[in-house]
Structure 1
């Protein structure tokens, strides 16, 4: 069946029970929630039993609710062309002054940041901060284009405590990083379109082990979202041939600031100690 979930709902709506119609109405009116939140969370918000949503999925011809969720995500997916296509378009565009690209990039970045701030759910963000604060260990995962961003997140997190780890660093395997993680731990997965397979697989394994998985991505179609306990969709649109990580860096810096604020005076002492050692080792130069 290739019809969209809306088409299937329209075709079967008349034959659905009142309760299934109610679930279908919620699905159409709240696709972002359905795409990014767990079934239990959606059911609680809608005040409809999880089993009702599962029955709706089967009534519409989907094998499971997760399959229906994937259809919703696919329809919400950002329409991002390949890097090569965008580079070709950029090259073939009429040549202009450097200021033109500068201003277009600035405007797009400002729009991305404003969209992020407007769309953030403060409750979900506060929950993630609590989870990361209470976790025994936190693993940061990022591959391909997200590798450098994960490295930067790990650098910031190192000031907060020793429980933070960066997966795949210095040749270490992802398997070894995941081997001892369980429900006491958390993972931050940073993966943008196209999603890195290792990041998606790591999210799946961690979720299976009971780890709290937080996914940061730029697309509702990201396959890692199906394994997420919490998720944040961060727009990375750019007039250039590559997506920008500016908004993602802003989000991660804000997240680390909130964690530092929650951590209390111990973090201040740790940061001071790290700075003293950096100077003693000659790693930094004071101006």
Structure 2
């Protein structure tokens, strides 16, 4: 990353990180993802605390900052601190506030696990509400409304999101096709998508290879793509016409789908409102 003009504000820094991401080393890519996903926490934590959370030595953060032209990490961190003066509270700050409100305690019982998950889901939903672009929502619903067919792909733990979308879109009378990994035909069916269709892809770290490959090929073919992922540095980002980055703050066994499922539901309710010309749309249900 030598020869790059040193970014003077947060927005310029993020642009440089995105432009240079593919040429970075694996450790620098991991740092870049953490910085873009957790800007408020980067502003207030020490470099050692940030390094611990990222799983990379603090010296690598210093070298990363120097590669962008800064004297050290503190100079880069100052951009995040200036941004924080006008930004909403970060994920950890929201969790702390919720812990106080709900009565923080260390509880390893079954109910304790439930409580911890609920607290994190509330914080994640609040972050998403603050960060999602109204224009991105509108653009995505427009693509869904105008598309002849909506093709859906999501594998591994993203599968429930696209299964939900298939159900609701079908109930709305929208022709949709799920690119199911079963049978090994997803890649081949993906090649039948036309430019008047839309591909809605969902994938989170660690990204399913087939999903990434199908999105890459569809992007090269000029197919409109709506992507739900965990970062603006996701492999889906470069091909997406509309990208929803829903950050995941812990890569653990208990990662929740509450935020992406809520986003999927919001898209379908907004689509229903347009299709039904009604400010209080009703999504039909299957009755016995």
TM interval, shorter chain, is: 0.5 to 0.7
- C-alpha separation in 2, matches of 1:203 and 1:35: 22
Unmatched 5+ residue regions in structure 1? 14-20, 37-56, 82-93
Give the drift of 1:161.
2.1
Secondary structure at the aligned position of 1:223 is classed as coil
Q: CA RMSD in A?
A: 3.5
Closer/same/farther in 2, CA of residues 239 and 138 from structure 1, 3 Å limit: closer
- Give the match for residue 214 of structure 2: 202
**Does the C-alpha gap of structure 1 residues 135 and 33 become closer, same or farther in structure 2, counting only changes over 3 Å?**
farther
Deviations 1:146-205 (A, max 9, x none): 122211111111112242111126636123322222321211110011000011001011
- Aligned position for 2:171: 159
Q: Does 1:173 align with 2:185?
A: yes
Separation (CA, whole Å) in 2 of partners of 1:101 and 1:199? 32
Q: Which residue of structure 2 aligns with residue 103 of structure 1?
A: 115
Contact 1:105/1:238 (CA < 8 Å) preserved in 2?
Answer: no
Deviation at 1:256, TM superposition (A): 0.3
User: Unmatched 5+ residue regions in structure 2?
Assistant: 38-52, 56-105
1:29 aligns with 2:29: no
SS in structure 1 opposite 2:129? helix
Which residue of 1 is the match for residue 71 of structure 2? Answer: none
**Which 10-residue stretch deviates more, 124-133 or 231-240?**
231-240
Greater relative contact order: 1 or 2 (C-alpha under 8 angstroms, separation 6 or more)?
Answer: 1
Is 1:185 the counterpart of 2:197? The answer is yes
Normalised TM-score (structure 2): 0.64
Change (3 A) 1:239 1:224: closer
> What pairs with 1:1-287 in structure 2 (closer than 5 Å)?
8=2, 13=5, 24-25=7-8, 28-31=10-13, 67=23, 75-77=32-34, 96-168=108-180, 171=183, 173-237=185-249, 241-264=253-276, 278-279=286-287, 284=288
Which protein is bigger by CA-based radius of gyration?
1
State the aligned residue count.
218
Contact 2:197 2:224 in 1 (8 A): yes
Q: Distance in 1 between matches of 2:200 and 2:228?
A: 7
Normalization by structure 1: what TM-score?
0.64
